[in-house]
Structure 1
């Protein structure tokens, strides 16, 4: 089997990688690195920060969609006037006041 080897001057990075592997539920550091490097090779790797950012954006979009749907429903029920209706109403009342 082809091998890829990486050397470090200290044990700090290998130790951190071992902890990350355990934290993510891998049986070994090698298994974790094999998975990560395979994703990198196929350009599927997404860092944790990128994943959290993407998830946050998705939640923001969902929240904005919910607010929009609520505003639209309130407008349809007549509980809320759309900005164009307000402008038209103000323009028509201005015309009456000028006459």
Structure 2
């Protein structure tokens, strides 16, 4: 979801838009928020000046590789060469699908 360009010079309005959009994305993805504001399911949130993406997660790892929000920006980080080789065999998109709520 992209913010209206008119918000770039209006930080208070931009903050309100971000919060409302974030809550609408949670609602659209049926991610529950408790009365105290705690989100009841894992997700990854990515923000740039031009777009916002919320990806529901069912788990943190695929195999022994942790997948965080950077994975959905195209950067899967590994600690060992074997993990990189394993990810290549599995397929990077398959790894992302495996950690999403619908995966």
State the TM-score, normalizing by the size of structure 1.
0.23
> Higher strand share goes to which structure?
2
Higher relative contact order (CA 8 A, sep 6+): 2
Greater Cα radius of gyration, structure 1 or 2: 1
> Higher helix share goes to which structure?
1
State the TM-score, normalizing by the size of structure 2.
0.22
